[in-house]
Amino acid sequence: MSPVVLISIAAFVGMAALIGGLAFVMKDFGSSTAEERLDVLAGLKTPELESHGLLKDEIVKEGVSGFSALFSGISRRFTNLSLLFEQSDSPIKPDTFYMISFGLGLGGMAIAFLLRTPLPLVPLAGVVLGSIPLVWLLLRRRSRFNKFAKQLPDALELVARALRAGHSLASGLHVVVEELPSPISHEFAMVHEEQNLGIPIEQALKSMLKRMPNLDLKFFVTAVTIQRQTGGDLAEILDKIGHIIRERFKILGQVQALTGEGRISGVVLMALPIALFFVVWHMNPSYVMLLFTDELGRKMIAAAAVLQVMGAIAIKKIINIKV
């Protein structure tokens, strides 16, 4: 195998390791035991499905023709990506998103080639530019989740007040749609519309929970499901849930302040090796190229990528405090 090919592979592996490390830092690892038990109580999982892991997402997609049909076929195979578009309320369709990403990737490689960038960095430029739409989509979903979580206590209080005034649960959901802004008004409007079309309100709430995987929302859905089966004062339960959510936000703010130094340290430690690589490459390219042309250098790069991922996981475990 030629040195050029080895250099390209090493650059691609290094960038993939960096993206994986950043994903470990930003992503929440799985569901907690409490969340899984709430899934069972709310009906999102059954013990049989939970034991075999057979829960699947159902995404309805429109067929398209022409060149974009290829990307639509790819999107149908990745239901998690389709759910990501729904959770982020993306203004563009999945097939358009894939075409934009593919075009940016090719454009990045073309620009790097025209600028006479060293060959190992050409695929790296394509990966960086091609991942920009995905980063934008993840940030959009994260922002929407945060807004929904902050609006949820007010929504639960409005529903509780409507129930005390003698309204039904569906009317209480409609009050939230009229009084609160998006995204919570949009999600509750979908629930209200689905139950108007004949879908049981418990099932409509479970669909909203699938779109907005929030632990506090799971408490709400579980409370409604149990109350519809056994009865009880739902308004009082919603008031208590809202109070608990507000107290959790206070504690979470303190935790964020105490772990701020750790989070900043993680970002710096992840970005510093990459930044130093480009600085040294700009000052003395032949010195840096030894990492790609020499066998010991390639081993050092592979070890550095593994250590980067391990460091990201360790920092994530330290700063990820459940509240």
Per-residue pLDDT of 262-299, as tens digits, reads: 888 888 888 888 888 888 888 888 888 888 888 888 88
Q: Look at residue 154 in the predicted model and tell me its pLDDT.
A: 92
| 120 C-beta neighbours (distance < 10 Å), count | 23
Per-residue pLDDT of 123-134, as tens digits, reads: 888 888 888 999
Q: Look at residue 147 in the predicted model and tell me its pLDDT.
A: 92
The tokens for 314 are 């360790």
Q: Look at residue 55 in the predicted model and tell me its pLDDT.
A: 38
Q: Look at residue 53 in the predicted model and tell me its pLDDT.
A: 42
Q: Look at residue 24 in the predicted model and tell me its pLDDT.
A: 47
Q: Look at residue 64 in the predicted model and tell me its pLDDT.
A: 40
Q: Look at residue 187 in the predicted model and tell me its pLDDT.
A: 92
User: Which residue type is seen at 149?
Assistant: A
Q: Look at residue 151 in the predicted model and tell me its pLDDT.
A: 92
Cα separation, 235 vs 291, whole angstroms: 65
Asked if residue 126 lies in contact with residue 109, where contact means CB atoms within 8 angstroms, the answer is yes
Q: Look at residue 16 in the predicted model and tell me its pLDDT.
A: 58
For the chain, residues with pLDDT lower than 70 are: 1-80, 323
Nearest Cα neighbor of 321 from 244, 241, 263 is 263
Cα separation, 27 vs 30, whole angstroms: 9
